[in-house]
Structure 1
Amino acid sequence: MGERKGQNKYYPPDYDPKVGGLNKFKGVHALRERGRKAHLGILIIRFEMPYNIWCDGCNNHIGMGVRYNAEKKKTGMYYTTPVYEFNMKCHLCDNHFIIKTDPGNLDYQIISGARRQENRWDPLQNEQIVPETKETQKKLFDDSMYKLEHGNADASIAESSKPRLVNLFNRNEDTWADNYTANQKLRAAFRSQSKEVKMKAAVDNALLKKSSLNIALLPESEEDRRVASLLRIKPSMDVEKKTDLLRRQIITASALPMDSFTPDKERKAVKALKTTLATNLVVKKSESSHVSKKQKLTNSLVGDYGESSSDSN
């Protein structure tokens, strides 16, 4: 293929081999559009997203493996390994994000314009196979006792994992022993799920058509139903909520009409209360004096009657 490309190049009649090549004769870069910024140390490459990210411009998710036309340039060195920086534009908005290589950690680092979606975990918690580090490999090579202990630990882990592996194998065999039945169950589940999705899509399309909207609808929740009922002219509320709301209003309400209770009315009310108290005090004093006079009169009458009786005797 390489020799055929060279033979298919067209050399014009005025071509001078002393120039050094066809690209130099035409004044273009060998990479064409990819090398239009080569004089700045920038090449246009096809960059593949190394992990899931969130764009800071539109807050949309960009999955691992999405490819972009990125500007690649060298920004430094990590010992003898060059560090490259990639500048690319989001395909969903006008935001640009910059990612550079991190040879020290064998990873990529986001400089600006995006943030990484953190889905990392410790593989030891999921009982995954973890490659040995360089320090562990060195100890295995130099320390025979450590190598023996390491081998015994691996053997014990493998022995303890055998029952779980056997259970998983038996479960898989039981599930897929009859391929026809398993396939039939899966197709029935997919069919019912597809029917529900179509019904929901029909309801959403009818609502969007009625409202003359062209947006994506989110799943409906109980909180959305409650808020929608409160926004209507006659909000619908069950008896328990109405009773609870009425009880709260009665407890928090003031015993006096605070909206029409002014300082002047307060002074008049205090004056009227003092007058009433003074009047009640005078009435009580008069009643007590009247009762005392009546009691004295009664005692005098009883005493006279007693004296008369004694005299008669």
Structure 2
Amino acid sequence: MPFNIWCEGCESMIAKGVRFNAEKKQVGNYYSTKIWSFSMKSACCKHEIVIQTDPKNCEYVIIKGARRKIEEYDAEDAETLELPADDDKSKLVDPFYRLEHQGEDLKKKEEADPVLIRLQRSSDARHADDYAINKVLRSRLRSQKKRVNEEERVARKRGLNVRLLPESQEDAATASRVKFSTKFDENRKLKRALISTSSIFSKPSGSSNDKRLDLESKRRKIKAARVSNLLAGGFKPSSWSQSAVSSCKHRRP
């Protein structure tokens, strides 16, 4: 696209430089120069856009499907030089017009001289000592090489093939918020499993039942360990499967 346009199908902007697969055909002549027409489909809404060449004005003309985006700016705000128009160039032939504007140009030159002189002096002072400038650049390059070598050494020490970026406060804050599993979670799962397998009825008191209570507590602990293993995703073969495997082994000749 030779310029920025607005698509009339979806009101989206198509930027300058976007390429299209267009159908090219000749629609006329301007003296001996051919006038070409380009028909294409918009990528956003499949709307048909037709653009023609204008050899007379050295321009492109939008025929259908879009409109040109008008971009206006102030030369002073953009800090650029405004080129004189064709009418101003023709007026420079007139001596009176040239004399009138020559005085304005001299006045602008006098106003801009102090700024230009300061810029020239600062530039001369900056580039006067070539050895000092080269020394600063070489020291900066040496420090950069040392930093790169240190980062590569740290990366190789950690088993990495790429250099790590320097540490930042954001990375430290993100790493401090990461929590890893500890024994606390394992103990909590074990206690929950023990509570879920324990009896809800009260236990009878007496010294004769101490051995039986010890056996029951051991059994509950074993059951709690099995339950926690199942909750964690583990698997342990049952006694029936073990007996079946052992019987099969004994039956073999």
Of structures 1 and 2, the one with the larger relative CO (CA 8 A, separation 6+) is 2
By the TM > 0.5 criterion, same fold? no
| TM-score, length-scaled by structure 2 | 0.40
| TM-score, length-scaled by structure 1 | 0.33
- Give the number of the structure whose alpha-carbon radius of gyration is greater: 1
